């Protein structure tokens, strides 16, 4: 089970104790990563953000632990299936963005080679 610690970089921004390839685990300067996540989180209607590694383990989140683990695991599986489907249709293609809208939430996933950026927001805002 991952342990989460508050970064002090904003309301509820948490970091997993799982080490990454750099100080941030994202291959970018830590201040830039934190600033980007804070900017996204500050948008009207955003409920939470998280960064998930290639294994589906959350490394950054603004959500509580149980919600983070649930969303990270399920959205990692869904994103990998969507990526596989896109590549099955055209091996030269790749998934660049996944957007899901339900009655309660809108979930946006921006996949990269090693990470997923997940944003959950209210759909009506």
Cβ-proximal residues to 17 (8 Å cutoff; 6+ apart), any chain: 2, 3, 4, 5
Task: Please give the chain's pLDDT, 125 residues, in tens.
Answer: 444 444 444 444 444 444 444 444 545 567 888 898 999 999 999 999 999 999 999 999 999 999 999 999 999 999 999 999 999 999 999 999 999 999 999 999 999 999 999 999 998 76
Domain boundaries, position 78: 4-121
State pTM to two decimals: 0.76
**What is the rounded CA–CA span in Å between residue 12 and residue 29?**
20
Cβ-proximal residues to 73 (8 Å cutoff; 6+ apart), any chain: 56
**What is the rounded CA–CA span in Å between residue 85 and residue 57?**
22
Q: How many domains does the chain have?
A: 1
What CATH number does residue 91 fall under? 3.30.450.30
């Amino acid at each position: 089970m991952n342990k989460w610690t508050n970064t002090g970089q904003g309301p509820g921004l948490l970091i997993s104790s799982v080490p990454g390839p750099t100080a941030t685990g994202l291959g970018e300067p830590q201040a830039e990563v934190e600033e980007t996540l804070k900017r996204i989180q500050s948008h009207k209607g955003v409920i939470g953000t998280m960064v998930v590694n290639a294994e589906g383990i959350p490394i950054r989140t603004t959500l509580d632990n149980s919600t983070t683990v649930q969303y990270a695991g399920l959205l990692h599986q869904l994103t990998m299936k969507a990526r596989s489907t896109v590549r099955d249709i055209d091996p030269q293609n790749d998934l660049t963005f996944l957007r899901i809208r339900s009655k309660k939430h809108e979930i946006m996933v921006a996949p990269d080679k090693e990470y997923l950026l997940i944003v959950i927001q209210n759909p009506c805002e």
